[in-house]
Structure 1
Amino acid sequence: MIRPLHRGAASAALLLSLCSPALAAWPDDKPIELVVGFAAGGETDILARVLAPYLQKHLSPKANIIVVNKPGASGAIANTYVQRAAKDGYTVAMVNTPPMNFMPLVQATPYDPDQFALIGRVVSDPTLLVARDDSPHASLKDLVAAVKSGKTTATIGQNGLGSNGGVALNLLIQESGAALTEVPFTGTGQSKIALIGGHVDMIFASHTAVPKPESESVKLRILAQFMDKRAPMLPNVPTAKEEGFDVVVPSDRGLAIHKDVQADIRGKLQAALEASLKDPEFLKAANAFADILAYKSGTEWQEDIEAAKAPLEQLAASLKQRGAAR
């Protein structure tokens, strides 16, 4: 009677191994979805599509990565899709901060940022305050002083509450006490048109949206960058901190996956990402992003996010109080 039991156990073990081929075969047996929370053709989508072939290359000769767009709700739709997918390593998110970690602070979201394991940061895009070159304000400090004195008002465009510009503007209002007027837009293309046309006084934009402000159809000027220190490509633009306002809001993009995905799969993804960002062919293909490529491991990136958490929580509390008072 003992032998049949042993044969049965062996058969059960064989059956289990046959029923779970994906884990053993990862990443070769089916496509990996790289999910982007913004529309095709945008900056995040273009970055994902440039990166995908090199992730494939450095993962496995048989790996196949496809970019899937799930736009809407400042990335919440895509983030939710990834978190609800099977935890088998075949669904990876291209996440954007601050939206990923700020939106759950101000409203209920169907995803939880704490359920993500960050794979690595790919880019860190400076957040800029941009004006027309004929603006009467020479600096951020001058702008704040003029508005607080009551001598002028200032309308400032931004791309939504959870965007890097929306967060930076609201933190600036909170930090400075200046009654700056928000004008929301759905994209930087719209806000740039409004600025050039004189419909708003300034806009918040990422560096990739205005890489050459002096070459726009109407010459533009950067008043300040909202980074911890001056970005290498903007050595002559002061930071908000230098102007006296402790507001640091970079626009970071990178990869994340559900934290329940096996650690060895997460490690292979991080190794492939790191190798991709050192690959000469990728660096050539990603030339448009050359100024903002800024790899950090998932652990290092998470540390940055944790360090920036307190001011975001304070801002969220302030916004909720402001909303309740209306």
Structure 2
Amino acid sequence: MKFPIRAAIYSTALLGTTACTSVWAAWPNDKPIELVVGFSAGGETDVLARTLAPFMQKHLSDTANIVVVNKPGASGAIANAYVQRASKDGYTVAMVNTPPMNFMPLVQSTPYDPDQFALIGRVVSDPTLLVVRDDSPYKTLKELVAAVKAKPESVSIGQNGLGSNGGVALNILMLESGASFTEVPFAGTGQSKVALMGGHVDMIFASHTAVPNPAGEQKKLRILGQFVEERAPMLPNVPTAKEEGFDVVVPSDRGLAVDKGVPTDVRDKLQAALEAALKDPGFLEAAKSFSAILAYKPGPAWQKDIDDAKAPLTKLAAELKQNGRAPAQ
């Protein structure tokens, strides 16, 4: 009688394994995949996600369905936490933004852990720019810093919050250069551009997508410097901060990530679909408005960039805490 019982147990276990395998085999076809965006509908990150989604699903399978879900608030923290708390089955994918994703946990408690994300791939890298009105007396970043060191807080700079690329770039610039600017926070680049053109601030930090044609704005603008590793292809005549002697590299990157608990084979399929989508002629046509900042990198290479950027961010976080400028917990 022992053998039949053992056989029955083995058969039950095998059936359970087979059922589990069939569930995994159904991915990504048995329910929609949520692509979670940490910002409101209509913003730059949301538009990118909605442009990308149909081409991602096309290259996953004939019946895959990707829906964009907006979870705005707290510099993306609400969306990041939502993704990390979801089932680890590959049906919840984050559109993550750096530097907010990896900087905010250094200055305050966040409901997510950036180290718990497995990056799928970077989609865009948007240069961070220091933008002035065309009639500004400052012609170079080096000249600007020298003037402000001689007369602290004499120049006001608008930025979109401490965790934004502009907020981080401004604070690292002050830390590295010793110049003390007057920070003016805004809720978005639309507001800060209006303030700049109206003469309410002297200059602003903004991503390239927010000022693709500075000279064509209602009030002519000019780019004083770009805060990236090397000159962006579309800005060949604008020096980087590093060229001016200030080691400040803070691009605004956006891409896909999942929780590390998601199986490796699912992650690999997502990365393959992302890479194929970004080469798809249909996507390239749909993405013309931001084609200049498309900059695919597979997850591991993007993770290395983030790891390399950790030292200056950690240094900045320590300085902000020491001076009581870190956000409340």
Distance in 1, matches of 2:302 and 2:167, equals 21
Residue in 1 aligned with 2:216?
A: 215
Tell me, what secondary structure is at the counterpart of 1:254? strand
Deviations 1:92-136 (A, max 9, x none): 000000000000000000100000000000000000000000111
Residue 66 to residue 244, structure 1, CA distance change in 2 (3 Å)? same
Residue in 2 aligned with 1:277?
A: 278
Aligned letter for 1:111?
Y
Distance in 2, matches of 1:157 and 1:285, equals 31
Pairwise CA distance, 1:150: 1.7
Aligned letter for 2:165?
N
Pairwise CA distance, 1:285: 0.6
Distance in 2, matches of 1:271 and 1:236, equals 35
Residue 151 to residue 175, structure 1, CA distance change in 2 (3 Å)? closer
Preserved CA contact (<8 Å) 1:147 1:179: yes
Residue 321 to residue 152, structure 1, CA distance change in 2 (3 Å)? closer
Please list, as runs of the form range in 1=range in 2, the aligned pairs for 1:246-261 lying within 5 A after superposition. Answer: 246-261=247-262
Pairwise CA distance, 1:289: 1.2
Preserved CA contact (<8 Å) 1:22 1:88: no
Residue in 2 aligned with 1:14?
A: 15
Distance in 2, matches of 1:196 and 1:89, equals 45
Residue 324 to residue 124, structure 1, CA distance change in 2 (3 Å)? closer
Residue in 1 aligned with 2:266?
A: 265
Residue in 1 aligned with 2:160?
A: 159
Pairwise CA distance, 1:23: 1.6
Distance in 2, matches of 1:62 and 1:76, equals 31
Residue in 2 aligned with 1:194?
A: 195
Please list, as runs of the form range in 1=range in 2, the aligned pairs for 1:95-114 lying within 5 A after superposition. Answer: 95-114=96-115
Residue in 1 aligned with 2:25?
A: 24
Q: Does 1:138 align with 2:139?
A: yes
| Count of residues paired in the alignment | 325
Gaps of 5+ in 2: none
Tell me, what secondary structure is at the counterpart of 1:111? coil
Aligned letter for 1:215?
G
Please list, as runs of the form range in 1=range in 2, the aligned pairs for 1:1-326 lying within 5 A after superposition. Answer: 1=1, 2-15=3-16, 17-18=18-19, 21-150=22-151, 153-323=154-324
Pairwise CA distance, 1:24: 2.1
Distance in 1, matches of 2:152 and 2:91, equals 57
Tell me, what secondary structure is at the counterpart of 1:189? helix
Distance in 1, matches of 2:198 and 2:158, equals 13
Gaps of 5+ in 1: none
Residue 181 to residue 208, structure 1, CA distance change in 2 (3 Å)? same
Pairwise CA distance, 1:76: 0.2
Preserved CA contact (<8 Å) 1:185 1:191: yes
Tell me, what secondary structure is at the counterpart of 1:277? helix
Distance in 2, matches of 1:33 and 1:95, equals 13
Preserved CA contact (<8 Å) 2:153 2:180: no
Preserved CA contact (<8 Å) 1:146 1:152: no
Distance in 2, matches of 1:21 and 1:31, equals 17
Pairwise CA distance, 1:151: 8.1
Kindly, what percent of the aligned residue pairs are identical? 74
Distance in 1, matches of 2:75 and 2:314, equals 18
Residue 324 to residue 82, structure 1, CA distance change in 2 (3 Å)? closer
Pairwise CA distance, 1:14: 1.8
4+ residue runs over 4 A deviation? none
Pairwise CA distance, 1:152: 7.3
Residue 71 to residue 324, structure 1, CA distance change in 2 (3 Å)? closer
Tell me, what secondary structure is at the counterpart of 1:10? helix
Preserved CA contact (<8 Å) 2:152 2:181: no
Pairwise CA distance, 1:4: 3.8
Aligned letter for 2:140?
S
Aligned letter for 1:14?
L
